[in-house]
Amino acid sequence: MRLLIRNVRLLDARGERGPGDVYVVEGRISFTPAPVDEVVEGEGRYLVPGFLDLHAHLREPGQEAKEDLASGLLAAAKGGYTDVVSMPNTLPPVDAPEAVAALRERGRALGLARLHVAAALTLGQEGKRITEAALLKAAGAVLLTDDGRTNEDAGVLALGLVQAGAWGLPVAVHAEDASLRGNGVMNQGALSEELGLPGNPPEAESARIARDLEVLRYALRQAKGRPRLHVQHLSTRRGVELLREAKRAGLPVTAEATPHHLTLTEERLRSLDPLYKVAPPLRTEEDREALLEGLLDGTVDAVATDHAPHTQAEKEMDLLRAPFGIPSLEVAFPLLYTELYVKRGLPLARLVELFTDGPRRVLGLPPLHLEEGAEASLALIDPAPKRVEPSRFASKARYSPWAGWVLEGWPVLTLVEGRVVHRVV
């Protein structure tokens, strides 16, 4: 299908241009007038490259009551994402090349947002024996991680980095020291003590990041290729500082921050509602500000959702037993567009970069800009305000900490290589 998006503002990591007319012909962007099948009005809207989420839990195989590829990838498309990396902590974990290939095949068949598969770093995510990085890469894996588990054994992580590095795969880590985290369900500090809830101290994260950076140094010395370490869902001020120092020292390390750590703090737990139970936990305002600084100065490379859906009944358990996680694929962009750009003045091009080129760099993908001949994987963003209504989510998780918030910047049209995967216009 040939499409004309008329009079639209063009926005990518390099900045804003336009307004102008954009043609989508044979899955590519063109600025040359051509006959079209359909015209979409772009006035007052932004056209941006499609978003890439580095960190989504799509729960297939094994936990389809929480989410499956169909619901999860549709939720992604509704959120302006054209590409999603699924985490391997499924049942069973994705630790074999066949599992990677099967998932990719299912993702392709659905024809929604594109599925990229992260495979486990260790067999069964048990942290003991590393997986077959070369074969996983050949089967299409884009990243190795034991996300959800905390890689307690430094020697195994070092081996994994050396092995994955040889095949050009980044290794992503859930940076928390399990022994310091204990059974914490919220940030440890004055508030957790006042509320009488077991706390997870910020040092559980920073102590582990410090160790992982040293392991990376060691792996770099051992390696033939170039190991790359990616730190997931950064949540603490000290964690940001450690990453900043490491990057200054030239270490091949990247980091992501989530929409919830960027917009919510531990204060939400005053409601004693497991809706806000997430790992790592929501931290303090000071930590949140440090994350925002990290976004601005490049310490944080990407916004990643850590979309973690659960059933309503599971989330209605008590704070000790309810599972960790917040679903956010459908609201991530409007949320940060509103809270960081509209309210805080974060440069819009930087915000878009954090959803596009930033995460692409983590995976070693080339940047995607709005230029003649570029792949037409795009999102059309409408600044008109709209209320967050979880009951209308495509995700099976129809609850949200942002329910009722009025947000601007909703994706109204999402194209993958010129194919419409979501539209409300």
Q: Which parts of this chain interact with other proteins (CB under 8 A)?
A: 189-190, 193-198, 271-274, 313, 316-321
Nearest C-alpha neighbor of 43 from the set 312, 381, 402: 381
Residue 355, annotated as binding a ligand: no
Question: Which CB sits closer to other proteins, 222 or 312?
Answer: 312
The answer to whether residues 144 and 119 touch, using CB atoms and an 8 Å cutoff, is yes
Question: Which CB sits closer to other proteins, 37 or 194?
Answer: 194
Residue 89, annotated as binding a ligand: yes
Catalytic residue from among 83, 177, 306, 382: 306
Smallest gap from Cβ 184 to other proteins, in A, equals 12
CA angle 125, 127, 133 (to 5 degrees): 70
Smallest gap from Cβ 274 to other proteins, in A, equals 8
- Catalytic, 12? Answer no
Q: How far is CA 118 from CA 23, 121, 169, 173, in A?
A: 33, 9, 10, 12
CA angle 22, 23, 29 (to 5 degrees): 90
Q: How far apart are CA 425 and CA 413, in angstroms?
A: 7
Which residues participate in catalysis according to the annotation? 306
Binding-site positions for substrate read: 57-59, 89, 310, 324-325
Binding-site positions read: 55, 57-59, 89, 147, 174, 233, 306, 310, 324-325
